[in-house]
């Protein structure tokens, strides 16, 4: 059954949500207070890169099912179901800043014309949806309006790089409500995504809110755990790749999210782990594990620079490092909290220069750093090698997986690869005359190993 939907916030989550709901026939209007963003969307220009999203949006607009507006009254008056999908950035003490959520709730109360179901799609601290209810009710009361409304929690579980597929083929649709009437509305809304088997899970609002944070914290924990073991492996002469395979074969552990590297980044894991920790502290509980997850990750982001510095015996002044990968993960242009940023900034502080290539994130990098001295953005991975002393890898883009090692060897002034994502087998790299420094790989992997030039780079 076709429903009228309003999405408050036309960022990453809002656009994916609105576009995918329109794709199955709902009439969707995406709202944002940023008039320039709405103008850009109405001119068919997306403010972000997400595979497949452009075509889904274009299809919705073409069929008259998806529109964009910066007029709050128009947008809120449109929706039977109103999603709040605005940002919840981290504040100075790590907690989630919900001002934009409450501002959206205030606008809803101000401009509602009929009954509406208000749904928090943003990742929010436990109790936020109750505050949304209070804000809408208070605003309606100030209007002397008798309009009825309901609230629900419906957190998103979208992965950057595969968000459209995640929405179209969800592994679960989480709904937080104690109302059977609200559950019925959301079952109708999500029916097109719930046909193959039952994916919709209903629980109370606070449990739904916490589930989102717990899911991201669990995944972040797995990453920090395997990075901790990788650092131990380096000192013990073990190979983390063998260890990863050994523990991943246990079905209780599995292989997902146990790939060691130079740390996690993005808009979710860093912010959500910190926000959950801050929320717990506010409730009188100090979550030691969550703090450790954050601290391990912060330290892990320093490891690649440390390895480069150790290899060059602390003298990086005047060196040029080729960098493959700027985004925090493949298939996105998002550089928020990306390990590449810490690496580049540490290299610049040490007097080095960077020649960087990323298939999607060069424009974002330019926005962050501008015309910074010491940064050259190039349009191919081969161009990044030109005039470089060494190669470092921060993002596991598929186009990096099978490089021309002979070209790398011939181009670099110092034949060495610092592999922050363990893309390559050390033996393969050294067989091409290159030194290899990975994360948690067996201590010494140098092309001159057989000649006795042995230094424990990895375990430094």
Q: Which residues are part of the catalytic machinery?
A: 268
The tokens of 195 are what? 């046909």
Helices (H), 63-194: 72-78, 99-111, 128-142, 163-168, 180-190
DSSP letters along 227-247, please? HHHHHHHHHHT--HHHHHHHH
Calpha distance 156→138 (Å, rounded): 27
Contacts of 303 (CB under 8 A, 6+ apart): 231, 262, 263, 420, 439
Cα separation of 428 and 415, whole Å?
Answer: 14
Max CA separation in the chain (angstroms): 86
Supply 391's token pair.
Answer: 């190669």
Instruction: Give the span between the Cα atoms of 42 and 36, in whole angstroms.
Output: 10
Backbone angles phi, psi at 314, to 5 degrees: 80, 0
- Pairing status of strand 27-31 against strand 4-8: parallel
CA distance 17 to 429: 43
**Three-class SS state of 78:** helix
Q: Identify the helix (H) or strand (E) that includes residue 202.
A: strand 200-203
Q: Which residues have a Cβ under 8 Å from the Cβ of 56 and sit 6 or more positions away?
A: 19, 20, 22, 23, 164
On whether the CB atoms of residues 240 and 209 are closer than 8 A, the answer is no
Quick check: 180 and 13 in contact, CB under 8 A? no
Token output for 404: 């021309």
Is the distance from CB of 84 to CB of 104 less than 8 angstroms?
yes
CA distance 242 to 234: 12
**Rounded CA separation 111/139 (Å):** 10
Lookup result for tokens 């329109």: 22
Q: Which helix (H) or strand (E) holds 95?
A: none
Both tokens assigned to 66: 């998806």
């Amino acid at each position: 059954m076709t429903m009228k939907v309003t999405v408050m916030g036309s960022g990453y989550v809002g656009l994916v949500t609105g576009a995918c709901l329109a794709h199955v026939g709902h009439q969707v209007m995406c709202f944002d207070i940023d008039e320039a963003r709405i103008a850009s969307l109405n001119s068919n220009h997306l403010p972000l890169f997400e595979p497949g999203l452009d075509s889904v949006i274009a299809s919705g607009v073409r069929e008259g099912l998806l529109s964009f507006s910066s007029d709050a009254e128009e947008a809120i008056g449109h929706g039977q179901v109103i999603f709040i999908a605005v940002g919840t950035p981290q504040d100075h003490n790590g907690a989630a800043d919900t001002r934009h959520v409450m501002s959206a709730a205030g606008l809803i109360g101000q401009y509602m014309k009929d009954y509406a179901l208000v749904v928090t799609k943003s990742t929010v601290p436990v109790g936020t949806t109750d505050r949304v209810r209070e804000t809408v009710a208070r605003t309606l009361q100030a209007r002397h309006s008798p309009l009825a409304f309901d609230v629900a929690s419906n957190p998103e579980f979208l992965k950057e790089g595969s968000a459209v597929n995640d929405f179209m083929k969800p592994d679960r649709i989480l709904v937080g409500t104690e109302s059977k009437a609200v559950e019925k509305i959301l079952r109708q809304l999500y029916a097109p995504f719930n046909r193959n088997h039952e994916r919709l899970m209903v629980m109370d609002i606070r449990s739904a809110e916490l589930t989102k944070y717990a899911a991201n914290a669990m995944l972040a924990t797995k990453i920090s755990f395997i990075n901790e073991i990788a650092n131990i492996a380096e000192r013990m002469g073990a190979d983390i790749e063998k260890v990863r395979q050994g523990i991943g074969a246990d079905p209780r552990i599995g292989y997902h999210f146990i790939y060691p590297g130079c740390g996690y980044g993005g808009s979710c894991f860093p912010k959500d782990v910190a926000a959950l920790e801050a929320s717990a502290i506010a409730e009188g509980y100090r979550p030691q594990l969550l703090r450790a997850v954050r601290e391990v990750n912060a330290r892990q982001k320093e490891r690649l620079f440390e390895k480069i510095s150790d290899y060059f015996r602390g003298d990086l002044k005047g060196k040029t490092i080729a960098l493959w990968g700027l985004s925090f993960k493949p298939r996105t242009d998002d550089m928020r909290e990306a390990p590449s940023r810490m690496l580049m900034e540490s290299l610049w502080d040490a007097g080095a220069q960077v020649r960087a290539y990323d298939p999607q994130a060069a424009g974002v990098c330019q926005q962050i750093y501008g015309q910074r001295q010491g940064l050259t953005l190039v349009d191919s991975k081969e161009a990044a090698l030109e005039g470089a002393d060494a190669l470092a890898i921060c993002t596991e883009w598929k186009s990096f997986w099978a490089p021309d090692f002979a070209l790398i060897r011939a181009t670099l002034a110092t034949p060495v690869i610092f592999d922050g994502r363990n893309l390559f087998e050390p033996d393969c790299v050294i067989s091409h005359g290159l030194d290899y420094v990975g994360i948690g790989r067996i201590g010494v992997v140098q092309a001159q190993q057989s000649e006795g030039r042995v230094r424990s780079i990895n375990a430094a």
